[in-house]
C-alpha cells in the first residue's frame, strides 16, 4: 500500500523559505537546495541526471517511491539535517526487517558514526575533541537555504531594481551576521564568512547603482578582507574586479588597474576559469583606456583562452554568457571605443547586446549607450540621440547611476558636434535623474 511520507514533508515544513520571509520552504525551494548540495557533495562528478524538481519531491512525499538513489538520499539528509535515511521516512522495500532496523544506525559521515564506538574506549580527550567540533549553531539546511537565497539574488540581480536589491541583501546579511556572532562548527563558520562576503559585494554593487560610492567602497573593502581571511580566492577575485568598475566609471583608470591586479592576485591562489577570463578582460580594457594597444591585445588573448574553459556554474553578477561560455564582447567593444576604433566596437557591442535576455533591461541599456557613443565617434549624432533616448526610457523604472553618467556623456559629445541637437536629450536625462533621486531616497534605511 502507498502511504504518504509525512516524516519527509514535516521535515521540509520545519524549514524557513529562503526567499519568502515568514513562510515554510516549498518543494521547489527544497529541490533547488538538493541540486546545489549534490554539486557540493560530489564536486568531481557531473550529476545533472540526479537533479530533482518539485514534481519528484511531490511523489516522494506522497509515498509513491521511498528509495531514491544514494546521491539523492545523501543530499536530502544534508539539506534536511537528518542523520539517517530512516529519519526522513526513506527505506528500501526489498530490505528485510533487520536491515530496515539498521537504518537507525548513524551514517558513516556523521560525528556519532565516526566517534560513537571509539568514545567508549578512547577516554575523555576524544569526546571533548568531537564536542568542540560539533558545537550547536546554524543547521546545514538553514545554511544551505541562505546560500541558495544569495545565489538566487545574484542570478536575478540584473533584473532587480537597486532599492529592492539593497533591501534583500540587508535582510539576508542581518540573518548571517546574527549567526556569525554565535558559536559554530568550523566548517559552518567558514561558509558563513564566505556568504557574508558575497552578500556584501552584492550590497556594494547596489550602493554604487544609486550613486552611494563611498558606502560601496567600504562594503567592497570589508568584503574583500573577509574573503582573504577565509581564503576564498575566487570570491575575492570577483570582489576586486567588481570594485574596479566604480573607478572605471569615474575614469580613474590607474586605481581601476590596481584593483584588477589585486583580483588577478587573488585568482592566482585558486580560482575558476570564468573569473580569470573576466578579470583579464577588465585588465585588457584598462590597458585600452591608457592607449596601450599591445597591453590590450595580450590581456584580451589571455581572457579568450580562459573563457574557453568557462562555465555558467561559476557565473557571478557582472558576467554574461553566450552559447555556454563567458561573453567577452562587451569588454572588447568598450575597449575598441577607448582605442578610437568605433566600427569594430559597434560589431562587438551589438553582438553582446543581442545575446542578452530581454529581461536584462539595465545591462541592455548600458550596451545601447556605448553603441550611442560609437555612433557619435562615427559621425552620426542623430543615431546617438535615438539610442540614448531608448536606453533612458527602457530603464526609467529601475534607474542606475552608470546609465545616467553615460547619457550625460553622450549629450556632451553630441553637443560638441551639434549644440542644437544636444538639447534634445535634456528633458529625458532630467526625468531619469529625478527618478534616480526618488529611488535613492526610498533605499535609505
Q: What pLDDT, on the 0 to 100 scale, is given for residue 427?
A: 92
Q: What average pLDDT score do residues 33-59 get?
A: 83
Find out whether 239 and 220 touch, Cβ atoms under 8 Å: yes
Distance CA 280, CA 284 (A): 6
What Cα–Cα distance (Å) separates residue 244 from each residue in 227, 316, 322? 16, 15, 24
Q: What pLDDT, on the 0 to 100 scale, is given for residue 15?
A: 85
Burial class (CB in 10 A: 0-12, 13-18, 19+), 70: exposed
Residues 6+ apart with CB under 8 A from 117: none
Among 40-49, 72-81, 135-144, 406-415, the minimum mean pLDDT is found in 135-144
pTM for the model: 0.68
Residue 16 φ/ψ, nearest 5 degrees? -75, 145
What Cα–Cα distance (Å) separates residue 98 from each residue in 101, 104, 288, 363? 5, 11, 71, 60
Read off the pLDDT of residues 342-377 as tens digits, 9 standing for 90 and up: 999 999 999 999 998 888 889 899 999 999 999 998
Read off the pLDDT of residues 114-170 as tens digits, 9 standing for 90 and up: 333 433 333 445 444 444 444 556 777 778 888 888 888 888 888 888 888 888 888
The answer, yes or no, to whether residue 444 has pLDDT greater than 60, is: no
Neighbouring CB atoms inside 10 A of 355's CB total 16
Three-state DSSP class for 368? Answer: helix
Q: What pLDDT, on the 0 to 100 scale, is given for residue 443?
A: 64
The C-alpha R_g of the chain, in whole angstroms, comes to: 26
The answer, yes or no, to whether residue 25 has pLDDT greater than 50, is: yes
Q: Which has the closest alpha carbon to 271: 309, 327, 322?
A: 309
**CA dihedral for 281, 283, 284, 289, sign (positive or negative):** positive
Amino acid at each position: 500500500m502507498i502511504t504518504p511520507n509525512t516524516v519527509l514533508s514535516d521535515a521540509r515544513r520545519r524549514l524557513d523559505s529562503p526567499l519568502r520571509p515568514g513562510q515554510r520552504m516549498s518543494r521547489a525551494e527544497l529541490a533547488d537546495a538538493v541540486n546545489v548540495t549534490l554539486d557540493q557533495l560530489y564536486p568531481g562528478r557531473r550529476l545533472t541526471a540526479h537533479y530533482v524538481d518539485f514534481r519528484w519531491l511531490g511523489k516522494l512525499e506522497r509515498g509513491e517511491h521511498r528509495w531514491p538513489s544514494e546521491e539523492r538520499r545523501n543530499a536530502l539528509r544534508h539539506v534536511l539535517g537528518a542523520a539517517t535515511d530512516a529519519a526522513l521516512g526513506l527505506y528500501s522495500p526489498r530490505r528485510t526487517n533487520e536491515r530496515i532496523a539498521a537504518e537507525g544506525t548513524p551514517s558513516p559521515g556523521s560525528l556519532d558514526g565516526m566517534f560513537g564506538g571509539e568514545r567508549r574506549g578512547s577516554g575523555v580527550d576524544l569526546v571533548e575533541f568531537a564536542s568542540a567540533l560539533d558545537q550547536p549553531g546554524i543547521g546545514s539546511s538553514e545554511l544551505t537555504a541562505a546560500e541558495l537565497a544569495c545565489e538566487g539574488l545574484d542570478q536575478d540581480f540584473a533584473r532587480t531594481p537597486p532599492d529592492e536589491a539593497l533591501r534583500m541583501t540587508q535582510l539576508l546579511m542581518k540573518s548571517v551576521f546574527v549567526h556569525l556572532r554565535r558559536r559554530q562548527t568550523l566548517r559552518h563558520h567558514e561558509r558563513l564568512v564566505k556568504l557574508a562576503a558575497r552578500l556584501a559585494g552584492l550590497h556594494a554593487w547596489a550602493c554604487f547603482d544609486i550613486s552611494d560610492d563611498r558606502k560601496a567602497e567600504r562594503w567592497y573593502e570589508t568584503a574583500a578582507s573577509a574573503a582573504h581571511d577565509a581564503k576564498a580566492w575566487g570570491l575575492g577575485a570577483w570582489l576586486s574586479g567588481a570594485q574596479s568598475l566604480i573607478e572605471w566609471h569615474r575614469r580613474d583608470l590607474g586605481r581601476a588597474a590596481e584593483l584588477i591586479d589585486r583580483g588577478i592576485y587573488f585568482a592566482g591562489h585558486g580560482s575558476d576559469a570564468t573569473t580569470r577570463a573576466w578579470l583579464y578582460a577588465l585588465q585588457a580594457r584598462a590597458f585600452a583606456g591608457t592607449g596601450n594597444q599591445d597591453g590590450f591585445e595580450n590581456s584580451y588573448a589571455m581572457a579568450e583562452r580562459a573563457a574557453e574553459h568557462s562555465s555558467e556554474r561559476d557565473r557571478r553578477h557582472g558576467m554574461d554568457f553566450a552559447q555556454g561560455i563567458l561573453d567577452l564582447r562587451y569588454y572588447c567593444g568598450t575597449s575598441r571605443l577607448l582605442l578610437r576604433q568605433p566600427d569594430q566596437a559597434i560589431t562587438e557591442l551589438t553582438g553582446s547586446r543581442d545575446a542578452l535576455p530581454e529581461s536584462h533591461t539595465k545591462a541592455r541599456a548600458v550596451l545601447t549607450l556605448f553603441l550611442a557613443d560609437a555612433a557619435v565617434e562615427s559621425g552620426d549624432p542623430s543615431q546617438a540621440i535615438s539610442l540614448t533616448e531608448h536606453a533612458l526610457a527602457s530603464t526609467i523604472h529601475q534607474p542606475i547611476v552608470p546609465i545616467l553618467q553615460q547619457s550625460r556623456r553622450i549629450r556632451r559629445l553630441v553637443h560638441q558636434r551639434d549644440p542644437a541637437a544636444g538639447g534634445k536629450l535634456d528633458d529625458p536625462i532630467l526625468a531619469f535623474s529625478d527618478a534616480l533621486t526618488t529611488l535613492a531616497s526610498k533605499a535609505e534605511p
